[in-house]
Structure 1
Amino acid sequence: MKILVLGSDGRTHAMVWKLFSSPSADVLCTPGNGGAVLLAPQVELDLANPAEVARWAFAEQIDLIVPAESGSLWAGMVDEVVAMHIGVFGASQRSTRLEWSRCYAKEFLQRYGLPTARGRAFTSLPTAEKFLAAQSLPVVLKADHPAGGGGTYTDRYTALEALRGLFINRPIEGSSNGVVIEEYLPGITVSFSAIVDGSTALPLLPARIYDRLNAAPDSPQAPGMGAITGNSSYARRLGEHLHRHLITPIIAALAKESLPYWGILGVDCVITDQGPRISDLRCSLRDMEAQVVLPRLEDDLLPLIEAAISRRLHQLPPLRWRDEASVGISLVAQGYPNHFAIGGAVRGLSELDEGVLVFHDQTHNPVGMRYTPATRGGPGMLSSLIMGSHAVAPDITLTGGHVLTVVCLGATLNGARGRALLNAERISFPGRTYREDVGSHEFR
């Protein structure tokens, strides 16, 4: 089966890596990154133009499109290929509103009584200003579109200025200028996803996400500093609770809204003293979640994707998982996520222990595989593959501040963390830094 994976970040590399192990899969990626192109030939396509991707996929006889990121789904990838008999592992454009409109998602959660922070969605600036003036601090502001930003504010004047800026800024042409205002919830961030086909859901694993620059509670937001999955009884009970009380009710609510949904359904939540509270909904695995969850999945991913698209997940047994914890430590450039140098070389990847995984995010590999289209007289697939756990070119370079993630599994969380720290130290690039506390605690 010929599969095209869409995306460029760490979860794209993780998805390519997992599908690469499927005996019936020939995997391509677009645009990929310095790690993904070691496993899958790279295709140059504009993911913001789903019609172009659809025409190319049809001409090249692609059987399945797997968006590792949600952007192409927002742009209408499913709607473009529906008449071409190409499977897409993801939701239709109308259903992806759950992710690309935070205002809609907030109202959806409140309409069906799902647990979320107290707050409201606004499309009127004067009304939002009055509401914000009456809220206790700290307070959280979120632009309607995820790319529009937001943050947590402890000063009311600063919050009001930020609110006005969010209404003015429109990161995507045609996007709403709405804003969500809600209470600040202290607690750890957990991502939880399921493979769904519209009625049945196969739950994955809860992953703790480290999304601050360091361990201090007031540390600046820095997406993707690390992630872990646990193998304790608490981790299993947490997954069962999130599936029963969050994922299952959301699927029922989607049916009531007449929103057909298949692919990945994910929730980001804060674990509070009163229980989990949903902060965001997702149509794909979260970056960092994919890197620590997929290595623990013992099952072949491709049959699961096919079953989701053909609406027969109910025929499959529960997923099988390795009884090990996983720890992912991200190596970032000094100054991330604001200002950092790019272009430096990554060293030490060949010095890692056997079995250690490295998922690239913002890297470039000049000797990665390139796809030769069959429509241009090529073979349709490059046959040469670079093999080995860490067989890499010596001149992989940085293209951004979130460079790569070292992932290790172990019988205990501490064991996986120790191995990840040891191997992370062997990798170097200009300004390399990382959080040493990732995995020091499971879900607290």
Structure 2
Amino acid sequence: MKILIVGNGGREHALAWKIAQSPRVDTVYVAPGNAGTAIDAINVPIEVTETAKLIKFAKEQAIDITVVGPEVPLVAGLVDAMQDEGLKVFGPSKAAAELEGSKVFCKNLLHMADIPTAGYRTFRDAEDASRYIKDRYSEPNDPVHVVVKADGLAAGKGVIVCSTRTEALEAIDRIAHQREFGEAGKELIIEEKLIGQEASVLAITDGETIMTLPAAQDHKPAYDGDAGPNTGGMGAYCPTPIVDEAMMEKIEADVLVPIVHAMKRARRPFKGVLYAGLMLTSAGPKVLEFNVRFGDPECQPLLMRLKTDLVDVIEATIEGRLGELEPLEWDERPSICVVMASEGYPGDYETGRVITGLDRAAELPDVKVFHAGTAMKDGQVVNAGGRVLGVTAIGNSISGAKLQAYKAVKEIRWQGAWCRKDISDKALEQ
């Protein structure tokens, strides 16, 4: 088989690495890929938004299955366009991808389906949103417990947690007035801040059968102790002890099954990866967001542990026969991914800085360094994005996996490189 993976991040490198292990697969292409996918697959210089070029390549190369990694081409309708040309493709339709593409759509659907989530209000302009905050909180330093969210895609950064009235008004201004996140801010949501621990529960579904994956825990804030601005994710580990068997059953019954049924009722049947971002509150799990693809960085530790042939799962999903498969087989050992980032991320950062030590890190046992924002320049690997590497390790315990991952991190250097030092510490505190 020939497989084409669309994307250029750590998730796509992990997918290429795992899919290439299938005995059914001869060739894996990644469009456009990065310096890491160039080692584990063949890079194709086509951007994720160049739909016509992707279709042309898939036809010319007789690609058997295309796997769409990131949210942007999914929301833009790449799956529909490829299916219209008779190509087999893994991922949700444009209509189904609105579950991630519009937070307003998602919240309204959750409300209609009676799926537990935070209370919220939606706004189309900054003035109405600001008035709502001012009416509820009279003093600038009044404590508030709200989260302000841009409606559209904002690379994980369009969510601002606010503790004072001033912070909430500034968040509204950034999203709806200054348009810091572009068109993503044409609508915004103000919702109550939920208290608890976050967990990511991903499931693969063909619209009928739901195959739930082990729960992971992401670390979205930039700095240790969950301080600083939100990012696309600074690390993750899997499984997380905060989601035990009873909790997983509740999540499946109260969240995953109802959302698949709700999408079907809305005539937007969902096929692909359904990612529930959850807050585990004292009142039970509540949905923070839905994504419509593998999480990044959750994908990396998940695929490190997956023993089942991923191609079999992908093909069965496309063909609507997921229910025929045996349960997924997993390595019992936990895995952790530590994201190494460019200086300045999630704000402005410089690129083109030479990365050293990748070979030494790769020699460590039970370690895989997944590339995200990297490129080749004059024969050397350089940083080409904000989140640069996902250093992933597996171990006999969470602490063992953490030790191995950070051993690999210490081998890798470039000017301004940094990472959180506390990835998976929440599991050790349980």
How does the TM-score come out when normalised to structure 2?
A: 0.91
Report the CA distance between 1:343 and its aligned residue.
Answer: 1.5
Aligned residue runs from structure 1 range 12-411, under 5 A: 12-25=12-25, 26-133=27-134, 134=136, 137-147=144-154, 149-168=158-177, 169=179, 171=181, 177-230=186-239, 234-352=243-361, 353-366=364-377, 395-411=380-396
CA deviation digits over 1:56-98, x for unaligned, max 9? 3223222211011121111111221223221110111111111
User: Relative to structure 1, is the Cα distance of residues 302 and 34 closer, same or farther in structure 2, using a 3 angstrom cutoff?
Assistant: same
Secondary structure of the equivalent of 1:321?
A: coil
AA paired with 1:156?
R
AA paired with 2:194?
L
Secondary structure of the equivalent of 2:11?
A: helix
Report the CA distance between 1:307 and its aligned residue.
Answer: 0.4
Q: 1:269–1:277: 8 Å Cα contact kept in structure 2? A: yes
Q: How far apart are the structure 2 equivalents of 1:191 and 1:341? A: 31
Q: How far apart are the structure 1 equivalents of 2:405 and 2:174? A: 40
Report the CA distance between 1:231 and its aligned residue.
Answer: 6.8
Deviating beyond 6 angstroms after TM superposition, the runs of 4 or more aligned structure 1 residues are none
Q: Name the residue aligned to 1:412.
A: 397
Secondary structure of the equivalent of 2:67?
A: strand
1:435 aligns with 2:404: no
CA deviation digits over 1:356-408, x for unaligned, max 9? 111111111359xxxxxxxxxxxxxxxxxxxxxxxxx7x21111231101111
Report the CA distance between 1:220 and its aligned residue.
Answer: 2.8
Q: How many residues align?
A: 417
AA paired with 2:412?
I
Report the CA distance between 1:131 and its aligned residue.
Answer: 2.9
Report the CA distance between 1:423 and its aligned residue.
Answer: 1.9
CA deviation digits over 1:402-422, x for unaligned, max 9? 110111111211111111122
Hey, which of these two has a bigger chunk of helix by percent?
Answer: 2
RMSD of aligned Cα (Å): 2.2
Q: How far apart are the structure 2 equivalents of 1:427 and 1:125? A: 44
AA paired with 2:373?
Q
Deviates more, 1:285-294 or 1:161-170: 161-170
Q: 2:2–2:62: 8 Å Cα contact kept in structure 1? A: yes
Secondary structure of the equivalent of 1:224?
A: coil
AA paired with 1:109?
L
User: Relative to structure 1, is the Cα distance of residues 416 and 57 closer, same or farther in structure 2, using a 3 angstrom cutoff?
Assistant: same
Q: How far apart are the structure 2 equivalents of 1:89 and 1:127? A: 40
Instruction: State the percentage of identical aligned residues.
Output: 31
CA deviation digits over 1:99-119, x for unaligned, max 9? 010111111111111111111
Q: How far apart are the structure 2 equivalents of 1:126 and 1:233? A: 40
Q: 2:75–2:97: 8 Å Cα contact kept in structure 1? A: yes
Report the CA distance between 1:236 and its aligned residue.
Answer: 4.3
User: Relative to structure 1, is the Cα distance of residues 186 and 63 closer, same or farther in structure 2, using a 3 angstrom cutoff?
Assistant: same
Q: 1:229–1:326: 8 Å Cα contact kept in structure 2? A: yes
Q: 2:205–2:211: 8 Å Cα contact kept in structure 1? A: yes
Q: How far apart are the structure 2 equivalents of 1:102 and 1:418? A: 37
Q: How far apart are the structure 2 equivalents of 1:117 and 1:359? A: 34
CA deviation digits over 1:92-151, x for unaligned, max 9? 111111101011111111111111111122235454334333266132111110228241
AA paired with 1:22?
S
CA deviation digits over 1:218-276, x for unaligned, max 9? 43323321101137595444434322321111111112112121011111112222222
Secondary structure of the equivalent of 1:146?
A: coil
Q: How far apart are the structure 2 equivalents of 1:269 and 1:306? A: 28
Secondary structure of the equivalent of 2:263?
A: helix
Secondary structure of the equivalent of 1:137?
A: strand
Q: 1:269–1:279: 8 Å Cα contact kept in structure 2? A: yes
How does the TM-score come out when normalised to structure 1?
A: 0.88
Q: How far apart are the structure 1 equivalents of 2:73 and 2:232? A: 21
Secondary structure of the equivalent of 2:95?
A: coil
